[in-house]
Every structure is written in structure tokens, then in C-alpha cells.
Amino acid sequence: MAKSKIAPLSVSSVSKDFKEKKVLKNVSLSVKLGEIYGLIGVNGVGKTTLIKVILDLLNSDKGETKFFDKDSTDPDSRKNIAYLPEKFYPSPFLKGREFLSLSLSYHGKKLDIKEAKAKAKVLDLDPKVLDHRIGKYSKGMGQKLGLLSMFLAGSPLLLLDEPMSGLDPNARIKLKALLKEYKEQGNTVFFSSHILADIEEICDRMAVMHNGKLIYEGDSATFLKKYKEKNLEMAFLRAIESDK
């Protein structure tokens, strides 16, 4: 199979129960090479659970997930991905630069501090704080540090769970610009969000999750046509209301 035809991420018929609660219900999706793909849904519908199953941090009850056509349960499949969780808590005792060095070592890379400081500026993170202990960081600074580690790793696939969380409007704007630039370099981005504006602005395609299942996958323009609305917010409301 030609590399250009291999999906960086594919999810096939994944289901997951927690005791009597069905959290994921036969979820399938496919992320294309070189696109930004957004997973949208209100809090508590299963977005984070799906990402944990994708990363083999949780076992699914049914179905399979693959990275670049390799089963995600195979550790070798995760060599080409970088992941940032929604609740990101790096060690407070490390300095920012020490965390970056450790993070990059997992990708077989060494820290270029000049590059790190340059990219920190782009993310609206003061380069000076890389010499400070993370325990002194604000939530937003910690989030920017995590994002910085993702971009420095340069992995072909980024998996980001609510990456805008904790960021001020200025940092969110800069992050969206960086994600677009990352895509233009031939990379792929998959991220979850409950902020519709972010999905509409930068995603090539999106999936809407509600009650543990996907009720839509495609581009935003088709989504608007399907629910006969002019803005994504109203279309989203109609979509989830029709799924009751």
C-alpha cells in the first residue's frame, strides 16, 4: 500500500463499557494524511475515553485502532505520534528545559534550546521560564510547555485532547496558526474540543460525538447543509437534539 494512502489514524467499531454504562458505542472514524481532524462534543460524551482507547491506555471491549496501518496495541505503532492529554501535569520539580529534554529523548531527539526558545515565543510563552521549575508555572504556562514539546518532537501525527484548555485568547490564536503551519508541513493533527469555533476555523474534517457514538463525520460545510443551518452552533444543537 502506498504511504500516501495509509491513514495515520483509523478506528474501527470500537465499543467500551464501564460496568452497566456504555461509554463508546461502535465508534468508527478515519483520519487522512495531512489533515486537521476535530472531534467535537459536549463534556462527558466519551471523547477522552476514545482517545485513551486509541492510545491503548484503556482496553476496548470490541473493535480495533491503528496508527499508520499498525495495530495501536503494538508499541512500535506509537513511534510516529505525540500525545498531549487534557489534564497535563508535568513534574513540578523539573525545570521547563529539563522536561523538554526528557520528552524529546522519548522521540530519540536532543533538545536544541535555541529552537525551543524561538518556538516558545511563537506560543506566547516567555523563553525565560524554561529555566524555572514547572511548579511555579500557571496552568496556561504548563499547557504551553506541553504544546511546545509536541511541536519540537515533530511527529507525523499529533493527538491532542482539549489543547485549547487553559489558554488565553491570544495564545489560542497563535496555537491555531501553528497547527495550520504544522499541517502544511505534511503532518496530521487529531484533536478533541468542545469549542465549536476552533473546529470550524481550522479543521478539514470533523466528527460529532454524542451519547458515546459518532453522529456525524465529514466537513463543516456538509454538516451545515445536513441540518439546514447557517452556523455551526445551531447545526450542532440540532444534531444532538435529534439524537435523543
Rounded to whole angstroms, the Cα distance separating 177 from 172 reads: 9
Which pLDDT value is given to residue 99?
Answer: 96
Rounded to whole angstroms, the Cα distance separating 78 from 28 reads: 19
Domains detected in the chain: 3-89+157-241 (3.40.50.300)
**Low-confidence stretches of the chain (pLDDT beneath 70):** 1-4, 244
CB 80, CB 108: distance < 8 Å: no
Q: CA nearest 87: which of 122, 52, 136, 37?
A: 52
- Residue 161: C-alpha distances to residues 29, 47, 127 (Å): 16, 8, 24
Q: Under 8 Å CB-to-CB from 25, ≥6 apart: which residues?
A: 15, 211, 212, 213
Rounded to whole angstroms, the Cα distance separating 169 from 174 reads: 9
Q: CA nearest 192: which of 2, 78, 27?
A: 27
Which pLDDT value is given to residue 12?
Answer: 96
State whether residue 191 is helix, strand or coil.
strand
The DSSP symbol for 74 reads S
Which residue is it, cell 439524537?
Answer: 243
Give the containing element (helix H, strand E) for 208. strand 205-210
Which pLDDT value is given to residue 186?
Answer: 93
CB 39, CB 50: distance < 8 Å: yes
Which pLDDT value is given to residue 5?
Answer: 73
CB 148, CB 121: distance < 8 Å: no
For Cα atoms 185, 187, 188, give the angle at the middle one, nearest 5 degrees. Answer: 145
For Cα atoms 195, 225, 241, give the angle at the middle one, nearest 5 degrees. Answer: 55
DSSP letters along 11-66, please? EEEEEEEETTEEEEEEEEEEEPTT-EEEEE--TTSSHHHHHHHHTTSS--SEEEEE
Question: What's the Rg (C-alpha) of the chain?
Answer: 18
